[in-house]
């Protein structure tokens, strides 16, 4: 059953500007080590960091909380499988909120075009409503 949906878009130039202005400090504050490694592994890092940022926002909305109740940006991680499929991994408070809401999985789709990164998230629950 769908428990929540979230969508977010961000201008890639905005993330590129943050990377130029704050560098590693920005990356360490926002992204997990695994996300940063993936972003640098292929192509344009600003593009990849923008998609990952949009994913964090979309997932927080799908959880129904946004970045409140103690959820931080690093509590929401997007890992790309070898096939390229992105998968959401929740940590710490985000994981606790999901479990408390009966959310068992969060699906994510990422794309970018014309300088904009977009993420769409669907939170899934195994609990059926009566």
Q: Quick check: is 6 in a domain?
A: yes
Task: Output the pLDDT for position 10.
Answer: 98
Confidence (pLDDT) at 129: 59
pLDDT at 127: 75
Q: What is the per-residue pLDDT for 40?
A: 95
Binding residues: 8, 57
Tell me the per-residue pLDDT of 53-81, one tens digit each, with 9 for 90 and over.
999 999 999 999 888 878 999 999 999 99
Residue 35 lies in a domain: yes
Residue 17: domain span: 2-125
Query: Which residues make up each annotated binding site for Mg(2+)?
Result: 8, 57
Q: Which residues of the chain have pLDDT under 50?
A: none
Position 130 in a domain: no
Query: Is the CA virtual torsion 121, 109, 81, 73 positive or negative?
Result: negative
Cα–Cα dist 78/117, whole Å: 14
């Amino acid at each position: 059953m769908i428990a929540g949906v979230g969508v977010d878009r961000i201008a890639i130039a905005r993330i590129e500007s943050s990377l130029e202005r704050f560098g590693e400090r920005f990356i360490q504050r926002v992204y997990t080590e695994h996300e940063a490694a993936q972003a640098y592994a292929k192509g344009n890092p600003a593009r990849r960091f923008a998609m990952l940022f949009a994913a964090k926002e979309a997932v927080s909305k799908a959880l129904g909380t946004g970045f409140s109740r103690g959820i931080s940006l690093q509590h929401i991680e997007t890992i790309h499988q070898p096939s390229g499929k992105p998968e959401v991994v929740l940590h710490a408070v985000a994981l606790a909120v999901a479990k408390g809401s009966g959310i068992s999985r969060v699906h994510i789709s990422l794309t970018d075009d014309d300088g904009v990164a977009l993420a769409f998230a669907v939170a899934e629950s195994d609990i059926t409503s009566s």
